[in-house]
């Protein structure tokens, strides 16, 4: 779901990020109480049109990035069918597809630092509670940045496995995957530190000195 921003530009890249997030928020709020699958199917139309307006490449990429959601939706739908609630199942699935696609579109058309700035602004009220807004924005940015890398790491480990074993990859690979994620986290922490990282904010006082050495 957390797709990388796309190199190819579109008119939506020029919209301010806060506006896009606000529209996404409104869209989700409007959709959520709806229960009629016909209405929800119609609500997918503007999303499809938005993708299409950015060009064929964009639409194709959007469809590709929906793939992980499709599995989830399929499971939900099967469950609903089994329990005899076909119409409700259809409604929930369409809701998920519409909102996730729109959220993907916002991510694809927004710069990471702009997104982080919005989150920082929103998080300001929580500063009094001890939550450093900059760290929060940073954390979200890092998730978006490193999720694809994490998936890539999974692919690499899978290849390393298959290069030396005829069997399918086993769940044993989860351990090295987790370890390498921790390892990567250490390296990112180092890289952040090397360029000043979060040092100039309040986080310096609230965080312990557990940075990797």
Partner 1 sequence: MMNNAIVLDGVNHQLNDKPFFKDLSIELREKRIGLIGRNGSGKSTLARMISGLIEPEAGEIRVHGVDIAKDRKKAIETIGLIFQNPDHQIIFPTVEEEIAFGLESLSGNRKQAREGARSFLASFGRLDWAERGTFTLSQGQRHLVCLMAVLAMQPKAVLLDEPFAGLDWPTTRRLYHWLDGLEQQVVLVTHDIDHLESYDRILWLEKGQLIADGAPADVLPAYREKMERLVFSDDEILGPGLPATNGEQG
**Which spans of this chain sit near partner 1 (rule: CB under 8 A)?**
60, 156-157, 159-167, 173, 176, 179-180, 183
Hey, what are 120's tokens?
């920082």
For 111, residues 6+ apart whose C-beta sits below 8 A from its C-beta are: 5, 17
Least distance from partner 1 to the Cβ atom of residue 212, Å: 13
**What is the nearest approach in angstroms of partner 1 to the Cβ of residue 85?**
38
Cβ-based nearer residue to partner 1, 87 or 183: 183
CA distance 133 to 113: 14
Closer by beta carbon to partner 1, 180 or else 203:
180
Between 135 and 177, name the residue whose CB sits nearer to partner 1: 177
Work out how close the CB of 206 gets to partner 1 at its nearest, in angstroms, rounded to a whole number.
30
| Residue closest to 186 by CA, chosen among 162, 150, 213 | 213
Q: Is 82 exposed, middle or buried (0-12, 13-18, 19+ CB in 10 A)?
A: exposed
Q: Report, in Å, the least distance between residue 204 CB and partner 1.
A: 29
Taken in order 197, 202, 203, 205, the sign of the CA dihedral is positive
148, two tokens? 């694809």
Residue number with CB closer to partner 1 (14 or 164):
164
Residue listed under structure tokens 């998936």? 151
Note the helical H segments in 4-36. Answer: 17-31
Closer CB to partner 1, residue 64 or residue 83? 64
Nearest distance, CB of residue 183 and partner 1, angstroms: 8
- What are the tokens at 122? 């929103």
């Amino acid at each position: 779901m957390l797709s990388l921003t796309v190199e190819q530009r579109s008119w939506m890249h020029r919209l301010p990020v806060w506006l896009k997030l606000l529209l996404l928020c409104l869209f989700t709020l409007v959709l959520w109480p709806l229960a009629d699958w016909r209405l929800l199917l119609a609500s997918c139309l503007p999303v499809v049109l938005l993708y299409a307006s950015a060009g064929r490449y964009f639409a194709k990429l959007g469809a590709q990035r929906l793939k992980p959601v499709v599995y989830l939706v399929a499971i939900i739908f099967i469950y609903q069918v089994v329990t005899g609630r076909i119409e409700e199942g259809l409604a929930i699935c369409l809701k998920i597809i519409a909102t996730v696609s729109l959220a993907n579109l916002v991510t694809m058309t927004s710069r990471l630092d702009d997104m982080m700035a919005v989150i920082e602004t929103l998080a300001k009220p929580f500063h009094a509670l001890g939550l450093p807004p900059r760290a929060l924005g940073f954390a979200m940015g890092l998730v978006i940045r490193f999720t694809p890398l994490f998936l890539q790491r999974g692919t690499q480990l899978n290849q390393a496995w298959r290069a030396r074993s005829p069997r399918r990859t086993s769940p044993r690979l989860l351990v090295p995957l987790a370890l390498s994620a921790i390892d990567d986290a250490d390296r990112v922490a180092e890289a952040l530190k090397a360029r000043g990282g979060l040092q100039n904010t309040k986080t310096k006082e609230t965080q312990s000195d557990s940075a990797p050495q």
